[in-house]
Amino acid sequence: MARKIDILTLFPEMFQVFNHSIIGKAREKGIVEINAVNIRDYTKNKHKKVDDYPYGGGAGMVMSAQPIVDCVKAVKQNNRGKVIFLGPRGKTFNQDMAKEFAEENELIFICGHYEGIDERTYKYIDMEISLGDFVLTGGEMACIPIIDSICRIIPGVLSSSESYTEESFYNGLLEYPQYTRPEYFEDIKVPEILTSGHHENIRKWRRLQSLLITKRRRPDLFNKFELSDEDKKLLRNIKITMK
């Protein structure tokens, strides 16, 4: 059964990006179903308005509750998944959340716009998430990378689970350096260990590089990461070598 994701948005055309590349192929294979639903189709306003001025005054417009709520109710008839709003009050999205969402069979995302949504809409929202502490022009811009990160770890979307389990953040570390042909480029040679054919030594080298890169570039991640006995040994050995 395909994993189903419905996106409630004012700009469904923005999600045509999912017709291409890896996610597009997954849709063709029936692994994941992604539907963009136009909130504007559910407004009762004869001019198709979905926003209005905020009570109490202030700059900008606020998305009205009625079209969003009616859209959620309509989508819920065929999708019983959690309703997730992309908004600034939410918990910051990360790889752990992506893994959790990838286990869900159905999900519903709401993309906000303007100065936000009418507070009464939250009655129909299960969870709010944010892409980070910065401002975007709309929830669509946050929704695209979030859905992409979820879909790519759904079984069958990538050719091998190794494609994502070795990537940055999946296991709490940044990814090790990658090289491809030619062996020499601008007088820089690929590290000799990678051409040795010794798979265990390569694995240990890559693990050590992930540890060192994370410690240097993202000490916040490194300090939270629980080192294994092997990790500690690899780091001890590199200190001994450097002395």
Q: 158: annotated binding-site residue?
A: no
Q: 132: annotated binding-site residue?
A: yes
CA distances to 16, 32, 86, 151, 219 from 144, in Å: 10, 15, 11, 11, 28
Side chain identity at residue 83, one-letter code: V
Q: 211: annotated binding-site residue?
A: no
Q: What SS3 class is residue 112? A: coil
> What share of residues in the chain are helix, strand, coil (percent, to 5)?
45, 20, 40
C-beta separation of 3 from 31 below 8 A: yes
Q: What are the structure tokens assigned to 59, written together?
A: 């700059």
Q: 131: annotated binding-site residue?
A: yes
User: Which of these, 38, 11, 16, 49, lies nearest to 147 by C-alpha position?
Assistant: 16
Q: 87: annotated binding-site residue?
A: no
List Cβ neighbours of 102 (8 Å cut-off, separation of 6 or more).
3, 150, 151, 153, 154
Q: Determine how β-strand 127-130 pairs with β-strand 51-52.
A: unpaired
User: Which of these, 13, 20, 39, 15, lies nearest to 147 by C-alpha position?
Assistant: 15
Residue positions forming the annotated binding site: 112, 131-136
Binding positions for S-adenosyl-L-methionine:
112, 131-136
